[in-house]
Amino acid sequence: MSDHQEHRVVYVSHPASGLARSNFPLECHVEGSRIVRSLPFYIPEDVRLYEIKTSRGVFTRPRKEVQMPLAFAAKRRVHSATRVKYPLLRDDWSPDNPNAEQRGKSGYSRISWEQALDVIVGQLNRIHEKYGSMEPVLVQADGHGHSGYMQSLHFWGHYLFDMIREHLGWGWWTQQVRNPDSWEGYYWGAKHVWGFDDTLGEPYQDAVWDDVLEHAEMVIFSGNDPEATGFGMSGSIALEMPKWLKRAGIKVVAISPDLNHAAAVHADKWIPIKPNSDGALYLAVAHTWIVEGSYDKEYVRTHTVGFEEFRRHAMGEDGGVAKTPAWAEKITGVPAHTIRALAREWAAKKTTLSVYFGGPKIRGTLSHVAARLEAYVLAMQGIGRPGRQFLRTGAPSFYKKSLAQVPRYPEVDHHGIALNPMIEYAIGHGPKSPVFIPRTLAAEAIQCPSIEWRGTTASLAKTEDQFNHYRFPPNDGHPGIRMVWNENGSQPGSWGHGWNWLEALANPRIEFVVGVHPWLENDIPFSDLILPAQTNYEHEDLVTVQRSDVLAMFYQDQAIEPVGESKSDYEIHRMIGQRLGLDDVFPPAEQWLKAAYGGTLASTKHGTTWEEFKEKKHFVYDCPTWDEWVEIKKEHGFGPNEGGLHWFWSAGDGLETPSGKIEFVSSRIAELDPDNTERPPLARWVPHGELRDSPKGREYPLSVMSNHPRFRFHVQGDDVDWIREIAKVRGPDGYMYEPCWIHPTDSDVRGIADGDIIMVHNERGALLVGAVVTERIIPGALSIDHGAKIDLAMLNNTLIDRGGCINLIAPTPQEKYGAGAEIAIPEMNVSGFLAQAAKIDVSDIVASTGLGHGATVPG
Amino acid sequence: MDKKTFLIDVDKCSGCRLCMIVCKDEHVGSGYSPWTKPQPDTGQFWIDVHSLERGRIPRVRMSYLPVLCQHCENAPCVKACAEAAIKTRSDGLVWIDPAPCTGCGLCQTACPYDVIYMNGDLKIAQKCTGCAHRVDEGALPRCAEVCPHDVIVFGDVENGKTLKVYHPEYQTGPRVYWKGLPKPWIAGTVIDALSDEVISGVAITSVDLFEDASVTVLSDEFGDFWIRGMEKDRKYRVEIRKEGYQDFLSIVTTDGDQDVGTVGLKRTP
């Protein structure tokens, strides 16, 4: 501390920043080219914070803004052993002989940037000449890695190819469309019940806390973990919100297969449930309400359509069995008496349901079933009534009709911070290129002669898009994918069936793979050419704080000298653009940042010039006073302690569904896809192949659930020694294994003890994890967080992942339909699937093929 | 001079481990003369969050104890050191002077709280300094500064008589004080065995078999009950009585948290 004054203070974007939006940055103290320490940011005293005034007290947030542990440890990644310092070319790749099968196996040699640009431009020219367009280039660039506002952004590949099309006339590229990954069930299911297309099927959050903190008596955390997902995505505010609930005297009931980190300390009641069986629970809750007459009959009559058909289904009057609590107990593992008690409490107390994204239930096989049935039961208790809301314990700014979750000036929401237009390529209304594939089907697009599916999967696409038919390749005789542009480095660890993706990259059809990334990790060692990208510490950028409750912008100085010859993602694409004569559309970064800042209120209203902003380094926007907020709300039709869907409760109309009401029977599905047994017009419990009582369950009797990790951020963090120390299980061989939660009833019968190394496997492959024998997981289930760093090794002559990346053996959406069949719902499934677990002897492991923690990077 | 103290409130801790990470951020690669040399990259936890998994499914909770050097008034490490390298500052913070320290390890053996680490490369013992270098400049120790739940409060609270210490039986006079140190609970769920319905509002009483004391709680809307704050290693008789039902009686020993499971009350004939 004595040298405090000598340090430069630099605000560095949080590693969880992605999609050009960020949390608050940390205040990094830098000495020379060393990051000495990272401290929380304190919102200056002259910035007015908000107050939510209720009869239960006044609620606000602290000025101190901390971030997840990984943010403080992120400086350790800069010089990680796997850091790529120079352009690297795979040793046995050549333009004439790509040796595709060797991807993932062979070594690399350092080349110069000039040589690297020669190779890239040469390959682009070759593709253009050979195939006549850029359509054979799959551009995979949609976030989920280390990212920032502009310089470290991962969307530049799309922009580059879009500019090549526009200015060189080389035609379209194959755009990988990011599916609604964290919201799958709401997107594919709940949108058919209540719309909310702009918020991926989750109800608007306008001023919702004003209502909840005044009125709610019980909040159900449905897989919600603000201590993990929320903290990583929104920072401090996600930790404050559960405390608001407790202070307001609201009971918290957690429903999840695991006692997650928030539930373990905040929940008054935990209801363990078998993975992906929430739909059956909701049906039994509805059954209880119908039997006891304890739902909001008037609301159902005036605000919904199709309830009678649902009532008949729940009661078993449609030829099926009655969906009683006893029926649900067998499927969910929740005792019937607990289901009835829950139903009675839910009816008697003003109850709000809370998620961050939706928990493990929302990213599994047929998660749209759970989401639709969740919407049904919320409707039966009159969602929008005071205290009966849908609540996100985090404050992403775009979950609104017109107002933010907490008191904020609408003009600040609209014009306060710079939005990077590149976001439309990733979280967009639809693909820009007519030639595209969903991210969930990237491997299939390479491996299969052709695939057909419905829906662009674009996050903000209208519901009706889910009935459009698409195919890849777009026509017969099309060359398909011949080149992969990988800016993510996250596909095998964030999406389903990662093994498939790794195999696809080694497919001989693929002539060239470019990886743009700071580290040789995950699927990056399957590239032919690796371009060294920088971390956020190594360049100037903007930090646009949009995922917090308070909005702000920071100027990020360059903290340290670039490692090796690394360049920012933007600069890398700019250099390629310049080689192609696209100088005009790739201006210097500073020019781009200045223009972006110039359009914000900080500049246009408050008169802080770009130079002043760079000097002061931050601009945090005031929040309105409570009285101002009450006036603002009045203009938008809300009373002082009204919020959320109060407007719909008042109006009974105005949703985006065809009827404008909540639809138990979806009129759109009834019209466009009435015979779909998986997603029929009326949602019902649909058994499927990833349930334990399915035929596959005999061989693979454990149901794997997977959360967002607490100490990683998706695939980031496992290469940080401090994170491994707190997050992993140390094996008898000293290796740090990914933890796997298993209940004593399941470990005992398998002879597994706490700390043992076990193999988790199914028909898709195998991985190694460290057993954590715990009461925090329901019997019959395993919990392994997603995104562990891949480390391929051999175990008894079988290729396995020693890193414990569970996504490698998660399903693909294609499996349900079979080869060649149309994929009706191309949903991502990374939780709630079958596997088996067995203890292994670590001495049987033949370690790392060179892609793991110990990999040394040439150069 | 006022003595510096840490006050740790276990009930508020969510186990986020930020205290552990910022301690490393502060000390790995950075020495603060004279108080400490740099901490090695890994292996030392000058503050370590101990996780306690409590109860049986579905009545499970976590308690977390962030354990750091207790900065004891009668520190066994001070007495154990043959080089007189372990010193107490006038503000009460205990530190290991790296200059005279030989890394013999006697202090590590002597410390009952297991918070001293050996640095093999530098051949010294190391531990929490209370961020003495920051305290001298009026700043908070990093762990207390970062804590998002105000679990770790650093200050001049000097009323140790009324506050609890961790493991008082060690008799080392810690200047780290604790609130909410976990005590065993007796938990369960009460249902009607015949109708398979939870019963709320049932009185559940625990009677201490050695002392004339009893505690009564009511089951909640899920039929769950939790009798918290039991003494450790005692025998209690758990009585569940409701009119119209046969009494349920059970003897439990609180060698840890006790869960009587789902108790199905039988109706009286």
Interface-testing mutation among B18, B19, B199, with chain A (most A C-beta atoms within 10 A)? B18
Q: What is the pLDDT of residue A15?
A: 73
Same domain, residue pair A269 and A386: yes
Is 70 exceeded by the pLDDT of residue A858?
no
- Regarding whether A329 and A274 lie in a shared domain, the answer is yes
Please report residues of B whose CB lies closer than 8 A to that of A40. Answer: 145-146
Nearest Cβ partner for B60 among A236, A259, A710: A259
Cα B32 from Cα B35, distance rounded (Å) = 6
**pLDDT single digits (tens) B112-141:** 999 999 999 999 999 999 999 999 999 999
Structural domain includes residue A661: yes
Q: Is the model's pLDDT at A3 over the cut of 60? A: no
Q: Do B197 and A340 touch (CB under 8 A)?
A: yes
Q: How far is CA A220 from CA A343, A354, A378, A381, in A?
A: 12, 6, 11, 14
For the segment A439-454, the average pLDDT, to the nearest whole number, is 97
Smallest Cα distance from B64 to chain A, Å: 9
Q: Is the dihedral of CA A252, A257, A262, A264 positive or negative?
A: positive
Q: What pLDDT band is residue A61 in, cutting at 50, 70 and 90?
A: very high
pLDDT at A856 over 90: no
Cis peptide before A335 (omega within 30 of 0): no
A243 CB neighbours in chain B (<8 A) are 149
- How far apart are the C-alpha atoms of A648 and A660, rounded to whole Å? 10
Q: Quick one: pLDDT at residue A299? A: 98
Confidence grade of residue B158 (pLDDT, cut at 50, 70, 90): low
Take residue A612 and report the two structure tokens written for it: 């002043």
Of A315-324, A383-392, A425-434, A560-569, where does mean pLDDT reach its minimum? A425-434
Mean pLDDT of B211-226: 96
Lowest mean pLDDT segment, chosen from A131-140, A279-288, A710-719: A710-719
Q: Residue A853: enclosing H or E segment and its boundaries?
A: none
A635 Cα distance to chain centroid: 34
Confidence of residue A5 (pLDDT cuts 50, 70, 90): low
The confidence score (pLDDT) of residue A17 equals 65
CA A750-A753-A758 angle, to 5 degrees, is 65
Closest CA–CA distance from residue A780 to any residue of chain B (Å): 13
Q: Do B20 and A775 touch (CB under 8 A)?
A: no
pLDDT at A859 over 80: no
Q: Can you spell out the DSSP letters for chain B?
A: -PPPEEEEEGGG-----HHHHHHHHHHBT--BTTTBPPBPSSS--SEEEEEEEEEETTEEEEEEEEEE----TT-HHHHH-TT--EEE-TTS-EEE-TTT-----HHHHH-TT---EEETTTTEEE----SHHHHTTTPPPHHHHH-TT--EEEE----TTTSB-S-GGG----SEEEES-----EEEEEEETTTTEE--S-EEEEEETTTTEEEEEE--TTSEEEE--PPTT-EEEEEEE-TTB--EEEEEE-SS-EEEEEEEEPBP-
List CB contacts (< 8 A) between B145 and chain A. Answer: 39-40
Q: Does the beta carbon of B27 lie under 8 angstroms from any beta carbon of chain A? A: no
Q: Is residue A301 part of a domain?
A: yes
Mean of pLDDT values over B238-248: 97
Please give the Cα distance from A527 to A525 (Å, whole number): 5
Q: Which residue has the higher pLDDT, A387 or A859?
A: A387
Mean pLDDT along residues A352-358: 94
CA distances in angstroms from A484 to A91, A123, A431, A524, B44, listed in the order given: 18, 11, 17, 11, 43
Is residue A462 scored above 70 in pLDDT?
A: yes
Q: Give the integer Cα–Cα distance in Å for B99 and B77.
A: 16
Which residues, at least 6 apart from A15, have a Cβ–Cβ distance to it below 8 Å? A70, A71, A74, A77, A146, A536, A713, A716, A717
Contact A372, A365 (CB under 8 A): no
Residue A156 forms part of a structural domain: yes
Predicted pLDDT of residue A65: 97
Q: Are strands B59-68 and B197-198 parallel, antiparallel or unpaired?
A: unpaired
The reply to whether residue A69 touches residue B191, judged by beta carbons under 8 angstroms, is no
pLDDT at residue A406 is higher than 60: yes
A778, B16: Cβ pair inside 8 Å? no
CB A61 within 8 Å of CB A548: no
Number of domains in chain A: 3
Tell me the C-alpha distance between B70 and B147, whole Å. 18
Candidate from A2, A269, A774 with C-beta closest to B222: A269
CATH of the domain at A218: 3.40.228.10
Nearest CA to B5 out of B81, B86, B91 is that of B91
Are B197 and A726 an interchain contact pair (Cβ–Cβ within 8 Å)? no
Chain B residues close to A39, C-beta within 8 Å: 145
Token code pair at residue A146: 């280390």
- My answer on whether A602 and A706 are in the same domain is no
What are the pLDDT digits (tens) for A741-776? 999 999 999 999 999 999 999 999 999 999 999 999
| Mean pLDDT in residue range A596-600 | 97
| Domain termination residue (choose one: A572, A588, A609) | A609
Closest-CA residue of chain B to A257: B58
Q: What angle do CA A528, A530, A532 make, to 5 degrees?
A: 175
Chain A contact probe: residue of B30, B57, B129, B135 with most A CBs at under 10 A: B57
Least Cα separation, residue B211 to chain A (angstroms): 30
pLDDT confidence tier of residue B161, bands split at 50, 70 and 90: low
Q: Is the pLDDT of residue A18 over 70?
A: no
Please say whether the beta carbons of A33 and A24 come within 8 A. no
Separation of alpha carbons A447 and A427, rounded Å? 26
CB contact under 8 A, A779 and B57: yes
Here the tokens at position A688 are 């499927």
Whether A575 and A504 map to the same domain: the answer is: yes
- B40 with B118: CB under 8 angstroms? no
Q: Is A742 left (phi over 0), alpha (psi -120 to 50) or beta?
A: beta
Chain A residue with the nearest C-alpha to that of B43: A725
Q: What is the ipTM of this complex?
A: 0.97
Tell me which residue of A601, A621, A552, A589 sits closest to A25, measured CA to CA. A552
pLDDT digits (tens, 9 = 90+) for B35-93: 999 999 999 999 999 999 999 999 999 999 999 999 999 999 999 999 999 999 999 99
Is residue A43 in some structural domain?
no
CA distance B123 to chain A (A): 22
Q: Is B104 on the interface with A (CB under 8 A)?
A: no
Residue of A nearest to B62 (CA): A264
Element (H, E) at A34: strand A34-39
Q: What is the pLDDT of residue A853?
A: 38
Report the distance separating Cα A360 and Cα A257, nearest Å.
Answer: 8
Q: Which residues of A touch B22 (CB under 8 A)?
A: 38, 72
Residue among A309, A305, A396, A318 nearest A357 (CA): A396
Residues of A in contact with B199 (CB under 8 A): none
Cis omega (within 30 of 0) on the bond before B34? yes
Q: Are residues A205 and A301 in the same domain?
A: yes
Residue B157 has pLDDT above 70, yes or no: no
pLDDT on residue A423 = 87
pLDDT-based confidence at residue A143 (cuts at 50, 70, 90): confident
Q: Are residues A588 and A648 in the same domain?
A: no
According to DSSP, the β-strands at B176-179 and B5-9 are parallel
Residues A155 and A261 in one domain: no
Q: Which residue of A has its CA nearest to B197?
A: A337
Q: Which of the residues B9, B24, B190, B191 would you substitute to probe the A interface, choosing the one with the greatest number of A C-beta atoms within 10 Å?
A: B24
Tokens of A689: 């192949």
Residue A388 and residue A520 in one domain: no
Q: Given an 8 Å threshold on Cβ–Cβ distance, is B224 in contact with A270?
A: no
Does position B215 have pLDDT exceeding 70, yes or no?
A: yes
- To the nearest 10°, report the CA torsion of B229, B235, B241, B246: 150
pLDDT band for position A2 (cuts 50, 70, 90): very low
List chain A residues with CB under 8 Å of B43.
725
Rounded CA separation A817/A385 (Å): 41
Provide the domain limits for residue A785. Answer: 695-846
**Is residue A475 a part of any domain in this protein?**
yes
Burial of A687 (0-12, 13-18, 19+ CB in 10 A): exposed
**Contact between residue A127 and residue A134 where contact means Cβ atoms under 8 Å apart:** yes
pLDDT, average across residues A573-600: 97
Average pLDDT, chain A: 95
CB contact under 8 A, A265 and B191: no
A390 and A456, same domain (yes or no): no
B222, pLDDT greater than 60: yes
- How far, in Å, CA of A161 to CA of A732, rounded? 49
> What's residue A1's pLDDT?
45
A335 and A440 share one domain:
no
Domains of chain B and CATH, by start: 5-179 (3.30.70.20), 186-265 (2.60.40.1120)
Residues A451, A479 share a domain: yes
Out of B25, B53, B145, whose CB is closest to A776?
B53
Band of residue A849 on the pLDDT scale cut at 50, 70, 90: low
Q: Which of A386, A324, A394, A317 is nearest to A355 (CA)?
A: A394
Q: In A, which residues are within 8 Å of B138 by CB distance?
A: none
Residue A684 belongs to a domain = no
Q: Provide the token pair at A504.
A: 């696809």
- B222 chain-A contacts, CB cut-off 8 A: 269, 338, 341-342, 345
Q: C-alpha dihedral over A817, A819, A821, A822, to 10 degrees? A: 80
Taking the CB of residue B268, how many other CB atoms lie within 10 A of it? 10
Q: Strands A845-846 and A792-795: what pairing? A: antiparallel
> Which tokens hold the place of B178?
């604790």
Please tell me the predicted confidence (pLDDT) of residue A819. 87
Counting residues of chain A whose pLDDT is more than 90, the rounded percentage is 91
For residue A516, what is the domain's CATH number? Answer: 3.40.50.740
**A775 and A657, same domain (yes or no):** no
Distance separating alpha carbons of residues A649 and A289, to the nearest angstrom: 20
A632 located within any domain:
no
B223 part of contact set with chain A, CB < 8 Å = yes
Query: Which of B21, B53, B146 is nearest residue A73 as measured by Cβ atoms?
Result: B21
pLDDT of residue A852: 43
B66 in contact with chain A, both atoms CB, cutoff 8 A: no
Residue A811's domain is classified under what CATH number?
A: 2.40.40.20
Is position A519 within any domain?
yes
Question: What is the pLDDT, as a whole number, of residue A20?
Answer: 72
Please indicate if any CB of chain A lies within 8 Å of the CB of B42: yes
**Edge-to-edge strand list for the sheet holding A34-39:** A8-12, A26-31, A34-39
**Alpha-carbon B110 to chain mean position:** 20
Q: What is the pLDDT of residues A826-839, one digit of tens each?
A: 999 999 999 999 99
Closest chain B residue to A335 measured between Cα atoms? B196
Point out the residue among A270, A722, A779 whose CB comes nearest to the CB of B60: A270
A855 pLDDT tier (thresholds 50, 70, 90): very low
Q: Work out the average pLDDT over A538-560.
A: 96
The mean per-residue pLDDT over the stretch A614-643 comes to: 98
